[in-house]
A and B are shown apart, each in its own frame.
Chain A
């Protein structure tokens, strides 16, 4: 039995901001879902199942919020699944939803991910009591900064590369009406002179905390045939996990990330990602993760990722645009951030990305990671349906 091809026919996002005080959690998710339905020209009755994801429940202080959200998402009387795979959850949620279609369990599925960080305090939500975590880790930046320094040492990358990524992503965000940070006066100099937070990570090289939601309508071949706008077709999708900490773990280029990308490329028939993929929405919460993930994903050889960034290859008008939407560096509703990468990849191949559209994008990668660089989820979407 071959799998049913999976198409993205509807995409909806909220305007991501620091605090959406005008809506409840239910109001926030419904706004994104409603926009995805409108994009697909479908109604709530057309949805067979709902798959929802978000990062830890402590961020809003609601345990298993999908129970409370069942009504707002039109899920009453339907199956509803709740996925949680740390920072990669937005991507994983989309893949779980895609599997429901691929397995022919359901024809049309609404998938949605959100975070409303303003409801609570994310720093508190992640401040784990001893003995679960060593004290003085100082947030996510404190965890990732040493790995960035390891990358700089191993690759010989100049110190300016991180700032180049941040400057690019913040300029890209200006072209994306849904992006959280719209810094109209951004300059490279401003990034480089921003305060140092966790050496070598400067303030302007970090992601914001956002309220936001992202939704997609996934459907089968028949559903795609009825779609009013061009669908994006899933050409490959995979998840991989490895342990948090162990002797021999490569934090600079985790094996799970490499394996996940290889699986996606195998499914999609990609042998040379650098030439065959037209753009990538990569989960980059700290700017230096762009060159690091370029290598991990096979777009550049080991120690070569920073050269693509420095040469402008990853600019919006470059040869391999990365984070055309402005990326996680400009918008970070944590649980939704992975799904936004997946959705922005789909927008690109549908030709619906507006001002940040890459001309002629036919195959685009969406990428998410989470935990201590241990959970990975990715998909490759295309303008053409998969062979078979």
Chain B
């Protein structure tokens, strides 16, 4: 899809997120989410009853219980009953579902939220349960080990080296200093090897967090926001699951999604990339053809805060917020899921000329 069909244009009109933290054991997921829901609604003056469609993203495996999203719905206040759906994915894909719902004309406003608490368990172990359950998952290869395979492949291909990766880490965390929501900020030591060639500094912090976005169509968006961030295009693609059949130094799914979202039609000035590991930023920059003039991850990115299931939606929210504040005219937001960038989503957001 290169752009929204017909004349119906959809915009991100508000964004809110938690302060992401290593642990929030004193809070339930719902308690963590509630302030974010209130904040995003307050920004538009909307009440739950004014929202035409609600969609969320989360994962039962992080919560450690089945149907974990049902409790979050109670927090939304679904009474009188609401039109609502849920994806067992990062909230960026919940936003995609809401975007299509608004395109049909059945809704003019949508609330999108997502959340994840990694602190209750070992997230490296939990993520192994995403893998092929018969041949791979029984070996328990963890998420850092898989990312390390990807990083080593890039180094072997001559696409990067360890000092370059350290520079990626340093730049992201320096940018995060200006972002009150991030977990790791400022100078962070590269540290020891966690899994060669990745050092602790190349890896994301483990943390808990939530985010929410409000979408609106056409004039409704202009009513709710002085400077709406219009979604000019959004697309997502998945690749094969087996790492052995993929070129880990490239991300064809990101490139295709970007092409379908219209990212290459005109240059962007900002890119928010969901790259939890430093080496993945190298892969994404190449796939997205980002030049040196593009500001990458002014928020600090996933290396500064990586609440699983919300980190992708946060990239869209951060890109939109730059447009709301007049700091960007055309921004790209990216979200990823699965081992070694298996599934990728790209959205292109634009402000109106001022």
Contact = CB atoms under 8 A, between A and B. Distances in A.
Interface stretch (A56-64, A323-331, A355-363): A56-64
A240 interface: yes
Contacts of A256: 78, 81
B202 to A, nearest CB: 23
Nearest to A69: B241
B104 A128 contact: no
A194 interface: no
B5 A71 contact: no
Interface string B124-142: 0011011111100100000
Nearest to A120: B133
Interface stretch (B12-20, B84-92, B150-158): B84-92
B239 A77 contact: yes
Nearest to B90: A64
B51 interface: no
B331 to A, nearest CB: 21
A253 interface: no
A1 B8 contact: yes
B88 to A, nearest CB: 4
Interface in B63-89: 64-67, 69-71, 73-74, 77-89
Contacts of A76: 238-240
A322 interface: no
Contacts of B249: none
Given A57-B61, A103-B103, A371-B70, A255 B6 contact: no
A70 B240 contact: yes
Contacts of A82: 87-89, 93
B274 interface: no
A241 B84 contact: yes
A83 B97 CA distance: 10
A314 B86 CA distance: 33
A315 to B, nearest CB: 32
Interface stretch (A11-19, A92-100, A222-230): A92-100
Contacts of A64: 59, 61, 88-89, 130, 337-338
A83 B93 CA distance: 10
Contacts of B61: 57-58, 63-64
Contacts, number: 194
Contact of B100 (A2, A105, A128): A105
Interface string A84-112: 11100000100110011011111000000
B276 interface: no
A102 B80 contact: no
B223 interface: no
Interface residues of A, number: 68
A60 B129 CA distance: 10
Chain B CB within 10 Å — which of A68, A69, A245 has the most?
A: A68
B5 A84 contact: no
A135 to B, nearest CB: 14
B185 interface: no
A63 B343 contact: no
Interface string A241-279: 111111000000011100110000000000000000000
A223 to B, nearest CB: 16
B253 interface: yes
A255 B81 contact: yes
A104 B104 CA distance: 8
A67 B89 CA distance: 10
B240 A85 contact: no
Contacts of A119: 133
A256 B83 CA distance: 9
A242 B78 contact: yes
A232 interface: no
Contact of B80 (A2, A75, A128, A259): A259
Given A100-B100, A242-B81, A259-B80, A67 B73 contact: no
B78 to A, nearest CB: 5
A58 B93 contact: no
Given A24-B134, A77-B253, A84-B60, 10 more contacts: A1-B5, A3-B105, A62-B130, A64-B61, A70-B238, A70-B239, A83-B97, A105-B100, A239-B84, A241-B84
Chain A to chain B: the 10 pairs with minimum beta-carbon distance, closest first: A56-B66, A1-B6, A256-B81, A103-B103, A84-B88, A241-B84, A63-B61, A63-B129, A104-B5, A242-B81
